[in-house]
Chains A and B, each alone.
Chain A
Amino acid sequence: MASQPAVTRPSRRKARGAGIAPWLFISPWILGFLFFTLGPLAFSFVMSLHDWPVVGQRTFVGLDNYRVMFLHDPQFWTSLGITVKFAALFVPLNIVLSFLLAVLLNLNLKGTPIYRTAFYLPSVISGVALVTIWSWLYSKEYGLLNYLLSFAGIDGPNWLGDTGWSIVAITIASLWGLGGSMLIFLAGLQSVPKELYEAARVSGVPAWAQVVHITLPMLSPMLLFTFITSIISAFQQLTIALLLTKGGPVGSTYFFAMYIYDNAFKFHDMGYAAAMSWVMFLIIMALSMLVMRWSSAWVYYEGEVRKDGDHA
């Protein structure tokens, strides 16, 4: 088109218009990304190099915030440890449970739609309402959970008041919102071609082997996605802990994100909070990259042809 000599004015204008139009269409996203994500991200890095109180003088301190964090702030390490502990509990449980629920829902039994709705419902409830419900369930004296346990003759723990149980309580409450990943797995399960299972059945492959050799490989992209998003949400855990335990008892659920929050809005130390946010960002990025790299060993994409030809 462009090489043709007889290009008229109107059509050239039309061509240029077509060049801008797509940009205009995606501009809300681009502008949103620039102003509300990339801008603040870059700004927070600048902040992290300053002693930045909310009111008063800002002073450039270079990497001092990072130095203090790593060398002189035991709370930084404690909070990080608590967050890692939570992730270690939450991530595997979230994947396994949502996978199992998806498999159950995929059996197409009577009443499946009701269960599907019921399992997904908690994901629709806002965090604050969810936490309120759980704080009632967990109450030591009057809670439903310990009441039910008492039927089994178990003297239930003080879920939110015991330093050992509090993180378990938060993990359970967080797992309640696994509807999202369950739905992803369910969609994945339903897109696995039936012929594969039929072929396996005809060849006399036992059911467990069908799961291992057909279902899991076919679902591996969803597993990868859920794995990474679970890690991210585990590290960013704030709402539930903030509202359910306020970081307690005795700081046993004082998550990394909560320490960032306190540094910014309680101690008015924006620079330090920004520096901690960057550390969290780098940790999450490193973990995600690690998982992605490792994933090539076990994630199978449909239509993918392996170099060694094994799975082609």
Chain B
Amino acid sequence: MTATTRIIGPAILAATFCAGWAQAEDKVLRFATWDSDESLAIEEAIAKKFEEAHPGVKVQVEPYGDGFDQKLTAAMGAGSPPDVMYMWNFPSYKDSLLPLDDLIAKDAAELNLADIPQGLLNTAKIDGKTYGLPVGFTTHVVFYNKDMFAAAGVPEPKAGWTWDDLRADAAKFRNKDQKVYGFAVDAKPDPYDFEQFLWSDGTKYISDDGRTIDGYMNSPEAVEVLTMFADMLKTEQAVGLNIGDDTSGSTLFKGGKIAMYQSAMWSKSGLDESGMHYGVAPMPTFGSKPVHSAIDASAISIAKDTKEPDLAWEFVKFFSSPEAVKMRKNDLPVRTSVVKELGMDQDPMFKPFFDILAVSNRETHAFLKNPNWGRIQDNLAKAIEATMIDQGNAKQHLDEAVAASARFLN
């Protein structure tokens, strides 16, 4: 008995002490993000600003990184979700998120949502309910190495250029000895972004009613897109990324191993930091077809089960305020007033992002059309990868993906 008391006694004492201490401490708001490195640092800086404005509040930034979905799923399943979190996949998580419409109506004047493009607001809406506020976004562009273009005597890309132009340019940079290529093709692209190439060639992964992929995902246009990229690998106009080697495209681009690199805002600050001399070109078109970019928007949402709904809402409002939006350097400002104030829509380093945004409003991303899209997308990703490894056979691989996905379409 005495021995037990001796052990358990201090333990109880310690537990009581800890509990009391935690209560006396600040209010803690948990904020989960998928970002790392510099983007994470920016978010932490915004969180710090919020803490300064709200004494007694501590924002605990939880960087889930690549495991964002797994960790968020686990946290929600265990009943202890973060209070606020980054969000893009609203169909999957909407049941666990707090609808914001009443809160938005209450603080309409302060929020001034007219300042945020409707298209971005819509990314966080399902069935007319708003589950998040956009805080940053990016469209897609082609970065090119100005020094390499000058050294090779190749004229820099201009607005209105086509994929044929890009391929002709890329061919001029190939140097076997120095392992230099003109472009890079990712064998494992994020299918979410990759759909922009299909859109720009006049097709899409899945019909707008979300019920048909046969004739879409494996349409002649889709086959043409995959075949073009596979062909660029075969003719050495491009180096393959993620084929048994996970060296990133931005590493190669910064190292002068590729002259052009198709990417988005998330690569830009790294390029700025490297001090390299680069330019931003618009996405090339397929002949005379209209181009259409993928739009990657980050929104911020509140967990339904949060114990601090008021504080969480204050945090969300702050995150989408002009002050916080201005601090974000790794994506584009969601507020038009900030874009205008910083003159970004006239800056040649940013203009292509906004130009393509203006014309990228015709298509809807596939995950919003079918609840099983995650599984279909796995088959599609396999088809893309197989085509790039084979350097061909796009039709066969896409047909296989369509056949394997049939059971997810009901």
**Residues of chain A having any CB pair with chain B under 8 Å:** 54-56, 72-75, 135, 138-141, 158-163, 166, 248-251, 262, 265-268, 270
Q: Which residues 163-205 of B sit at the A interface, judged by CB distance below 8 A?
A: 179, 187-188
Q: How many residues of B contact A (CB 8 A)?
A: 26
Counted as pairs of residues, one from A and one from B, with CB atoms less than 8 Å apart, the total is 60
Inter-chain contact A161/B389, CB cutoff 8 Å: yes
Inter-chain contact A248/B76, CB cutoff 8 Å: no
Contacts of A250 in B (CB 8 A): 382, 385-386, 389
**Residues of chain B having any CB pair with chain A under 8 Å:** 69-70, 73-74, 76-77, 92-93, 95-96, 179, 187-188, 243-246, 374-375, 378, 382, 385-386, 389, 404, 407
Inter-chain contact A266/B404, CB cutoff 8 Å: no
Inter-chain contact B76/A55, CB cutoff 8 Å: yes
Inter-chain contact B245/A140, CB cutoff 8 Å: yes
- Min CB–CB distance A174 → chain B (angstroms): 18
Among residues of B, the one whose C-beta sits closest to the C-beta of A52 is B77
Pick 22 A–B contacts, CB within 8 A, sort by A.
Answer: A54-B73, A55-B77, A55-B93, A56-B95, A73-B407, A135-B246, A139-B245, A141-B245, A159-B244, A161-B244, A161-B245, A248-B188, A248-B385, A249-B187, A250-B385, A250-B386, A250-B389, A251-B382, A265-B69, A265-B70, A266-B69, A266-B374
Interface majority SS (helix, strand, loop, mixed), chain B: helix
Inter-chain contact A249/B69, CB cutoff 8 Å: no
- Give bound CA distance, A161 to B93, whole Å: 34
- Min CB–CB distance A28 → chain B (angstroms): 13
Contacts of B404 in A (CB 8 A): 74-75
Inter-chain contact A268/B73, CB cutoff 8 Å: yes
Contacts of A138 in B (CB 8 A): 244
Inter-chain contact A267/B374, CB cutoff 8 Å: yes
Given A248-B188, A268-B73, is A72 in contact with B407 using a C-beta cutoff of 8 Å? Answer: yes
- Give bound CA distance, A54 to B69, whole Å: 11
- Give bound CA distance, A32 to B30, whole Å: 31
Inter-chain contact B375/A267, CB cutoff 8 Å: yes
Extra contacts, 17 of them, besides A73-B407, A161-B244 (Cβ < 8 A), are A54-B73, A55-B77, A55-B93, A55-B95, A74-B404, A139-B245, A140-B245, A160-B244, A161-B243, A162-B244, A163-B389, A248-B385, A249-B187, A249-B385, A250-B382, A250-B389, A268-B92
- Min CB–CB distance A81 → chain B (angstroms): 15
Contacts of B246 in A (CB 8 A): 135
